[in-house]
A and B are shown apart, each in its own frame.
Chain A
Amino acid sequence: MTAKKSAHTCCYVTLLFGCAIGALSTIGAINGSPALAKNGDPQANAIMAPYQVFNEAGQEVISALLPFGTQFSDATTLTSQTIQLRITGTDTGGTVTGITRNCSVGNRNISRRNVRMLLDGLTTISISRAKSLFSVVLKIDNVSQYQGAIACDPITLRVNP
């Protein structure tokens, strides 16, 4: 897994001074409709090639880590490091979307409404776009003052043919 570290130097604490006194998915095992056989149609009733996902290094992956590293509770949004992925086996049209779930920071639960997966900065991209490397980042909003370990229910990348 190759992770691209995103910029995290976004905050500062300044002290003024003076001198005043003072889960593994099913990798699209069967793609396509169970069509009736038709003479002369090689695609009919066939199991099409499954989707395959590759990381930036060109390795096929079935799961991926989105590391948040160490972040601080004065942030209102937590942003994971960015990873790059590519999907093949996508000859048909359609879209790719991140399916987010509830997360938690420490003992505070965060509704999935506040969890966003951005693909190239968007919530949904076309399958044709996903054939080339695209960025994936997870954002958890409205977490101000929460502290503790970051965890999420299983998040998946979904292809809608």
Chain B
Amino acid sequence: MRPFLLFLIFFSILLAEFFCTTKKALADDVLSFYVSGNVLAPPTWQTAAGADLTAMAFNFSSRLADANATANVDSSVFLARLVNAASYPTTVLLSRPTGCGIGPAVVTDSHVQFVVNGTATTANGALTIPSSGTQNFVLRFAAVGGYGNKAGTVSCGQAGALTYSY
């Protein structure tokens, strides 16, 4: 009987060692994270009244052909604003319309100017929007082209674009 008990004790020790030494280690959380940030309404173009805007149509209907060919041909002022930009002043990318004409007269693309708050931009590229407030936009056919005395329907084959990236 005694040898059997000794064997049982010895066997139990062996079993205990086996299970302890092969026990899988526990997972460790080695780092904690915390987060920060804000989600805001996205930037958007709006009318002066605050309505979302996807396109602006420049109106030349109030203009009469001038006797002077070397006068700027300006559209009526279009009021619009860019809201929720990351900061101001901010930069948008201007692409001017092309393929414009006044009646039968063809407007050379390089004569198409985009006027923001009275300052004409003569090339595509970066354009500064000074604030989230309403800005004055005008589409101009420059005097250098001699369009001042032209009459007829104004149209452009390819629309321009103002793009704000974020």
Contact = CB atoms under 8 A, between A and B. Distances in A.
A15 to B, nearest CB: 4
A103 B55 CA distance: 37
Given A15-B56, A36-B17, A150-B37, 20 more contacts: A9-B166, A12-B164, A13-B44, A14-B163, A15-B53, A15-B163, A17-B137, A18-B97, A23-B32, A27-B30, A51-B28, A64-B31, A67-B35, A67-B36, A68-B39, A72-B40, A103-B35, A136-B33, A151-B35, A156-B32
Nearest to B154: A19
Contacts of B55: 15-18
Contacts of A25: 28-32
B156 A18 contact: yes
B35 A159 contact: no
Contacts of B36: 65-68, 150
Nearest to A18: B159
Majority secondary structure of chain A interface residues (helix, strand, loop or mixed): strand
Contacts of A138: 33, 35
B57 A158 contact: no
A111 interface: no
A20 interface: yes
B134 interface: no
B145 interface: no
B163 A155 contact: no
Interface stretch (B4-12, B58-66, B117-125): B58-66
B41 A147 contact: yes
A148 B78 CA distance: 33
User: Interface residue tally of chain A, by bracket?
Assistant: 35 or more
User: Nearest 3 A-B pairs (CB), nearest first?
Assistant: A68-B37, A28-B28, A25-B29
A146 to B, nearest CB: 6
Contact of B37 (A11, A15, A69, A158): A69
A39 interface: no
Nearest to A160: B27
A57 interface: no
A143 interface: yes
B30 A65 contact: no
Contacts of B34: 63-66, 152, 154-155
A122 interface: no
Contact of A33 (B20, B35, B57): B20
Interface string A20-38: 1111111110011111100
Query: By CB atoms of chain A within 10 A, which of B31, B45, B82 has the most?
Result: B31
A18 B97 CA distance: 6
Given A62-B32, A159-B30, A16 B160 contact: yes
Interface string B73-92: 00100101010101000000
A98 B75 CA distance: 58
Contacts of A8: 166
